Amino acid sequence: MNFKAAKPDARILILQIVAAAILSFWFKNQWTTICFFLVIDLLVLFWYGAKIFFERLIAYAILNALIWGLLILEIPIISVVFPSFLMMIVRVFPIYLLLKLLMDKTPMDELLYSLDAIHIPKSLSIPLMVVYRYVPTILQEFRYVNESLKMRGLNLSFSSLGHLMQTIENYMVPLLFRSEKLSEELSAASLCKGLSAYRKRSCCTDVKLTIADFLYLLGMIFVICGLLYLDSMNF
C-alpha cells in the first residue's frame, strides 16, 4: 500500500533552493533583492503562519537597517567591515528559509528517495541525512543540559563569566556523554531501516511528480522571470 507523499515534491523544493542560491547573488538592484525576499517570506506565511512571517520580516528589516545605519554613520573600520558581513547574511537569509522549508515539510525517507531519483551519490546524501537528524537532536540535548544547570544555578550568565572555563566544562561533559549515546542510537536506527550506500532505496509513500508540482514549478518560473525583468530596470 502506497501513501500520499508530501507536496511540493522534494525535487521541486531542491530546484527552488538552487535557483534561489543563484538569484540571490545575481541580483544587482537593491529593490529586486527586497522583492525576492518578500516572495520567499510569503511562502513562509503560507506554510508557517503569520507569526513566523512577521518574525522573519522584522529580522530582515533589522539587518538592512543596520547596514544602512553603519554606512551613514561612517564609523572607522566598523563601517567598512560589518556592512559587507551583514550584506552576506542578507543574501543568504532567503536561501536559509527555503532550506528550512525543505527540511520541515519533507520526511527524511521521501527526501532520500528523491535524492536517489536525481542520482545524487549516496556517499553524499546519507551523511547529509545523518547531520539533518543529529543537529536538531543535539540542540535539544543542549536545552535539557541548560535547564538542568539552571536549576543548580550553574548555567551561562553574567555571574558565570568569571568562571568561564568551569561553565564550559559543565556544558561539554554531559553533551559529550549524550553525543556518544546518540551516535549509537543513530547507527542502530540506520541498520534497522536498511540504510545502505550499495542498495537501491524504496519508499512506502508514492513519491512522484504530479500536476500540482508542475504548476508550482510554472509559478516559480513566472516569479523568476518577473524578478529578472525588475532587476534589469534602472530605477
What does the pLDDT average to over 180-196? 69
pLDDT at 60: 93
**Do 183 and 212 contact (CB within 8 A), yes or no?**
no
Give 160's pLDDT tier (boundaries 50, 70, 90). low
Taking residue 121's Cβ as centre, other Cβ atoms within 10 Å add up to 10
* The model's pTM: 0.75
Does the pLDDT of residue 38 top 90, yes or no? yes
Taking residue 28's Cβ as centre, other Cβ atoms within 10 Å add up to 9
What angle, rounded to 10 degrees, do the helices at 211-232 and 10-26 form?
Answer: 0
What does the pLDDT average to over 33-39? 93
The C-alpha atoms of residue 125 and residue 13 are separated, in whole angstroms, by 16
Residue 157 to residues 59, 160, 161, 164, 212: CA-CA distances in angstroms? 25, 5, 7, 10, 50
| Residue in this structure with the C-alpha cell 538569484, named with its chain if needed | 23
Does the pLDDT of residue 2 top 60, yes or no? no
**Do 128 and 54 contact (CB within 8 A), yes or no?**
no
Hey, is 177 helix, strand or coil? helix
- pLDDT tens digits, 94-148: 999 998 888 888 877 777 777 777 777 777 777 777 777 777 777 788 888 888 8
- pLDDT tens digits, 54-96: 999 999 999 999 888 887 877 776 767 788 888 888 999 999 9
Does the pLDDT of residue 30 top 80, yes or no? yes
The sign of the dihedral angle between the CA atoms of 127, 21, 10, 39 is positive
pLDDT at 196: 61
